[in-house]
Amino acid sequence: MDHFSYKDGVYHAEDVSLELIAKEVGTPFYCYSKATLERHFNVFSRHFDDVGAKICYAVKANSNLGVLNTLAKLGSGADVVSEGEIRLALAAGIKAENIVFSGVGKAATEMAYALDQGIFQFNVESEPELRLLSDVALSKGTKANIAIRVNPDVDPKTHAKISTGQKESKFGIAIAHALPVYKLAATLSGINVQGVSVHIGSQLTTLEPFAQAFARVRQFVEELRSQGFTITTLDLGGGLGIPYGGEEPPLPDAYAEVAKKETAGLGCQLIFEPGRMLVGNAGILVSRVMYVKHNDGGRIFVIADAAMNDLMRPALYDAYHHIMPVRAADGNAPTELVDVVGPVCETGDIFAEQRLLKVPAAGDLILFRSAGAYGASMSNTYNARPLVPEVMVHGSQYAVVRKRQTYAELLARDTIPSW
């Protein structure tokens, strides 16, 4: 459930009209609903209150400081994949003791920064990373608290580009080969082994892959303990899907039941890393139709002022985003199969192909739903298009939480060499 809806025929975020924001901020822009963010966090976290789990929001889904601060105030921790994300999380008020650091390519400088801040845990993804982390910790006279990210070889049944838990994946260490790496870790004096972590992919729409992965990890924790390891933390990752179109992903209560059942009696501090589930349906992208173009083949192109550089998911993952008019279409307006595209010079700059829509007119505002996750955080300036603003709504107020990049800022990034 979210707090976006039509009021008197105009789409609103909570109590603020998107026409008003478009007029004041310009288009395109991202719009987030604070009440929706809060609702999603609470709906997820309340199922884990009884076991005292740490909820470490996956910052890469949406790293806006306004979003992070909203989640920080609810007690969220952070799952980060770079020093930049650690800095954002800390700046937003997330405590270092609630930060876990994931990712296959952590640099020594990033490890050093994370150790200085005193983060909760490094999720180590390879043997060379483990050795380097030990060296960095030793050079500071400290120890790094780690879990090893194991790969349970489970098919998450999601898009190939967001599957991470199969044996061909670059992520983690195959569960069958992880024991020797734990034994190595025990010999490294800059390492303190505390847990096991797993994350099998994103936008999962069934529970079975989670159940399989958690069961394999549980067995592995038991094996580690029988070998004398003290395992106190169990990081079960993120990946719970959201409804973009027709999918019916499991609800948080069903997911929580599986997670708690598969880990019952282990006595581990559970950690979850939800990203998309918290922010995906708390954000939309609003755009203005620039032109409606009819080509010879009889195709109708709706050319929006937003493009693949603002919202990459359709181009990158063939992702579906529901497209709606900001001003509810007149019931008699004609419905046609149209292609909704952006201005970027790439054939892949298509938001929707042959979608049945009431054909908008040039100048109309449209919106892409479910754009809160992997939207703004993946955006870029391809075609020298400035980054678009992000707005957060709270009741009848709104705030610009990231201003539109100016052309001066865009040009200031580069320098011309003296020769």
Ligand X SMILES: *Cc1c(COP(=O)(O)O)cnc(C)c1O
Binding residues for ligand X (CB under 6 A): 58, 60-61, 79, 102, 199, 202, 237-239, 273-277, 373
Residues 6+ apart with CB under 8 A from 40: 277, 278, 279, 281, 282
- Give the H or E element holding residue 186: helix 178-187
Q: Is the distance from CB of 146 to CB of 193 less than 8 angstroms? A: yes
Shortest CB 273 distance to ligand X, Å:
4
Q: 380-383: long-range contacts at Cβ-Cβ below 8 A with a sequence spacing of 24 or more?
A: 380/309, 380/312, 381/309, 381/405, 381/410, 382/308, 382/309, 382/344, 383/307, 383/309, 383/343, 383/344, 383/345
**Could you give the angle at the alpha carbon of 202 between the alpha carbons of 196 and 208, nearest 5°?**
75
- Cis omega (within 30 of 0) on the bond before 274? no
Helices (H), 123-177: 127-139
Shortest CB 178 distance to ligand X, Å:
16
Judged by beta carbon, residue 60 or residue 321, the one nearer ligand X is 60
Shortest CB 60 distance to ligand X, Å:
6
Between the two ends of the chain, the Cα-to-Cα distance in Å is 58
Judged by beta carbon, residue 82 or residue 134, the one nearer ligand X is 82
Judged by beta carbon, residue 63 or residue 287, the one nearer ligand X is 63
Shortest CB 98 distance to ligand X, Å:
15
Alpha carbon of 105 to those of 108, 127, 186: distances in Å? 10, 12, 22
Amino acid, res. 393:
V
Shortest CB 56 distance to ligand X, Å:
8
Judged by beta carbon, residue 211 or residue 303, the one nearer ligand X is 211
| 56 carries an active-site annotation | no
Judged by beta carbon, residue 275 or residue 314, the one nearer ligand X is 275
Catalogue the active-site residues. 345
